[in-house]
């Protein structure tokens, strides 16, 4: 399998190169040259396959000969070593709970898969690879955890001191071993700027093997297909496939689901549920794509003003708006509606949503009003405890803290404080080698 750049200027690459490079040199996103087609037999008998087998079948054509079978099977099973249950909320609405992984959000799946692929690709390299990331909170935790104890890889995470939640900070700073947390005396933008400078510093890059764990990396994007297939496996009414609603920010998650659909996964329709950052809902109305400055909302992991993965959805539909419209709808949900949904679903159904899941729930519910014969699944992308500051005042009670988080909070924080100064970062990185 080869990957081409959506900007069409860079040469095609293998899965290995696409994983190591992240972004194509022409600043495009890598996209698979062919979409694999899964056999009818497999789809019809999906309930008889283990999750490991399903995930392996889905990803193998994309990886092709870049990773041998036994290694890829190991990577896949380590990626999905937690529950992904489909939970009934109402007669028509089901929640696909993606928050049972180590950092309580769906990004665990992509981060765990990518880290292990990268670990495999660099295992014979003379140098250690250093994964460098700036985080405003969430992504860093998933990346740190994903790469934890992966041989040959050191992870350096920059986060703004005092500007991430206490749980998020513990997720970054308590792992130790090959995970290094740099507590920057500045803002998230400062962290991002320092990382950018490190990547363009020739002297540093001649000495070190630096890479990013960007969310556009194919090895983070493609494995997100897995749980759409797991959802279908658990779907009872195979004659009436589900509508699938995905709380969306950068549109990597929903794009993975649509890729699965293109490979033969039965789905009635997709809904991209957005918050006030309504670039795609507007596009689906007007066919005009107008990026905007992101606005802050309660579902802050979706505060994106120029969703980088949307171009992959357009690519999947060969830029044919009419074809896309048949498969995808998109909706925008306000913070007031988000809070009201958390409250009413808790009161009426006894199910606790996080703000991102609430955006998904409401968009799905509104859609189903017009299609009463259909049923649907929304993706619950994070555990409500991650957003307790939003959720607790709305429901008027405490959100129970899962055991894994209680243990993490007790652990001792280990970080290195640095100033907003490229030379301090450079010195730290050079010493790691």
List residues near ligand PLP by CB under 6 A: 105, 107, 138, 247-253, 301-302, 356, 381-382
Nearer to ligand PLP, 59 or 67 (CB): 59
Q: Beta-carbon neighbour count of residue 4 at 10 Å? A: 19
d(CA 270, CA 257): 9
Nearer to ligand PLP, 57 or 312 (CB): 312
238 labelled catalytic: no
Specify burial of residue 70 (Cβ count, 10 A radius: 0-12, 13-18, 19+): exposed
Q: Which two tokens stand for residue 60?
A: 């193998």
CB of 340 to ligand PLP, least distance (A): 19
CB of 386 to ligand PLP, least distance (A): 7
8 A C-beta contact, residue 274 and residue 302 = yes
CB of 148 to ligand PLP, least distance (A): 19
CB of 168 to ligand PLP, least distance (A): 11
Q: Which two tokens stand for residue 3?
A: 């990957």
CB of 338 to ligand PLP, least distance (A): 12
Distances (CA, A) of 16 to 1, 36, 223: 10, 18, 15
Nearer to ligand PLP, 67 or 302 (CB): 302
Distances (CA, A) of 50 to 53, 62, 71, 77, 277: 5, 20, 18, 10, 38
Q: Which of 216, 318, 225, 321 is nearest to 265 (CA)?
A: 225
Nearer to ligand PLP, 10 or 248 (CB): 248
Q: Which of 245, 258, 263 is nearest to 315 (CA)?
A: 258
Nearer to ligand PLP, 28 or 357 (CB): 357
Nearer to ligand PLP, 134 or 301 (CB): 301
Q: Which of 104, 101, 207 is nearest to 427 (CA)?
A: 207
- Concatenate the DSSP letters of all residues of 130-143 into one string: EEEEE-SSHHHHHH
d(CA 420, CA 198): 13
Sheet strands side by side (includes 179-184): 209-211, 129-134, 153-160, 179-184, 416-418
CB of 203 to ligand PLP, least distance (A): 34
Which three-class secondary structure state does DSSP give residue 289?
A: coil
d(CA 91, CA 100): 23
Q: What are phi and psi of 181, to 5 degrees?
A: -100, 125
8 A C-beta contact, residue 305 and residue 275 = no
CB of 270 to ligand PLP, least distance (A): 12
Catalytic residue among 107, 233, 375, 386: 107
Which three-class secondary structure state does DSSP give residue 258?
A: helix
CB of 71 to ligand PLP, least distance (A): 27
63: Cα separation from own chain's centroid:
19
Nearer to ligand PLP, 116 or 356 (CB): 356
Nearer to ligand PLP, 51 or 136 (CB): 136
Q: Beta-carbon neighbour count of residue 323 at 10 Å? A: 12
Catalytic residues: 107
């Amino acid at each position: 399998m080869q990957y081409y750049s959506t900007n069409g200027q860079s040469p095609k690459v293998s899965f290995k190169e696409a994983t190591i490079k992240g972004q194509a040199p022409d600043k495009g996103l890598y996209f698979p040259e062919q979409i694999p087609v899964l056999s009818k037999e497999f789809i019809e008998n999906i309930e008889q396959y283990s999750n490991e087998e399903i995930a392996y079948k889905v990803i193998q054509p994309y990886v092709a000969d870049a990773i041998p079978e036994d290694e890829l099977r190991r990577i896949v099973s380590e990626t999905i070593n937690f529950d992904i249950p489909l939970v009934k909320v109402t007669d028509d609405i089901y929640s696909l709970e993606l928050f049972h992984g180590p950092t309580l959000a769906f990004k665990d799946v992509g981060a765990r898969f990518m880290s292990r692929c990268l670990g495999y690709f660099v295992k014979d390299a003379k140098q250690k690879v250093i994964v460098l990331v700036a985080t405003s909170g969430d992504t860093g935790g998933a990346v740190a955890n994903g790469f934890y104890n992966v041989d040959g890889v050191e992870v350096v995470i920059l986060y703004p001191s005092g500007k991430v939640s206490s749980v998020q900070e513990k997720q970054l700073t308590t792992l130790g071993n090959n995970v290094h947390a740099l507590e920057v005396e500045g803002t998230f933008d400062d962290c991002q700027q320092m990382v950018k400078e490190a990547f363009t510093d020739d002297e540093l890059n001649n000495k070190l093997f630096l890479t990013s764990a960007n969310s556009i990396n194919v090895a983070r994007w493609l494995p997100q297909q897995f749980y759409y297939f797991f959802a279908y496996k658990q779907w009872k009414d195979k004659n009436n496939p589900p509508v699938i609603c995905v709380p969306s920010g950068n549109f990597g998650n929903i794009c993975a689901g649509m890729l699965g659909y293109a490979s033969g996964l039965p789905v009635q329709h997709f809904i991209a549920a957005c918050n006030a950052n309504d670039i795609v809902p507007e596009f689906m109305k007007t066919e005009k794509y107008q990026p905007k400055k992101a606005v802050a909302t309660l579902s802050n992991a979706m505060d994106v003003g120029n969703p980088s993965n949307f171009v992959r959805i357009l690519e999947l539909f060969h830029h044919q708006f009419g074809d896309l419209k048949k498969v995808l709808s998109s909706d925008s949900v306000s913070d007031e509606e988000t809070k009201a949904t958390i409250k009413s679903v808790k009161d009426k159904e006894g199910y606790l949503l996080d703000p991102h899941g609430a955006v998904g729930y409401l968009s799905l519910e509104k859609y189903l009003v017009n299609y009463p014969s259909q049923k649907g699944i929304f993706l619950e992308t994070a555990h409500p405890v991650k957003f307790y500051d939003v959720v607790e005042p709305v429901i008027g009670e405490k959100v129970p803290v899962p055991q894994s988080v209680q243990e993490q909070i007790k652990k001792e924080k280990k970080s290195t404080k640095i100033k907003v100064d490229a030379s301090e970062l450079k010195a730290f990185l050079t010493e790691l080698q």
